[in-house]
Amino acid sequence: MFLEQFPEDNSKHGWIEVVCGSMFSGKTEELIRRLRRAAFANQKVILFKPKIDNRYSEDSIMSHQGSTLEAISILSANEILAIWDGEFIVAIDEAQFFDEAIVSVCSKLAQNGVRVLIAGLDMDYLGNPFGPMPQLLCIAEYVTKVHAICVSCGSLAQFSHRFNSDKNQVLLGAKESYKPLCRSCYNKSEL
């Protein structure tokens, strides 16, 4: 009975993994760690990043701890399918900056037997869901939520508090513009 329900068809099975959290929580560091493990196992990997994120480099991603990995900068999610050349793992950093097409692109890749690794902010500086991240979290088989440490009280932090006056949803920056806060400290802060 069990074998009839799940026949062996020798097809590849893909899936989607999302690493999410606030700024300074280690999302990119975790993405790099997973990709290095895959490379060590001789799995073909390709890494994408949004062209808008040029804080550290045009052709690599960099964690706040200084780890780097070569990446392809793209403007839109559909470019991933055009560039993908059968790699077993497709990784995407800063997924919140991509258009809504990222959801269908990731689904198509997973349906084609690809392991899709995604890292991104789940919330913007106002604490609202950020870009396509809610949909990516919904379709993912595996979700890892990482946390920073609240710089005010030392608790686990899940909010990226912006402490300048810019009100645009997208504002590239790091420690000069953002700090991680827990829910209690975030609610006490001025927005």
- C-alpha to C-alpha distances, 4 to 9, 14, 57, nearest whole angstrom: 11, 21, 51
List of residues 6+ apart from 155 with CB closer than 8 A? 149, 182, 184, 185
Most distant CA pair in the chain: distance in Å? Answer: 62
List of residues 6+ apart from 81 with CB closer than 8 A? 105, 108, 109
Report phi then psi at 80, rounded to 5: -60, -45
117, 140 Cβ separation under 8 angstroms = no
Q: Is residue 30 among the annotated active site residues?
A: no
Residue reference for tokens 């890292």:
119
**CA–CA gap between residue 129 and residue 6 (Å, rounded):** 36
Catalytic residue (one of 58, 94, 100, 141): 94
Residue positions annotated with a catalytic role: 94
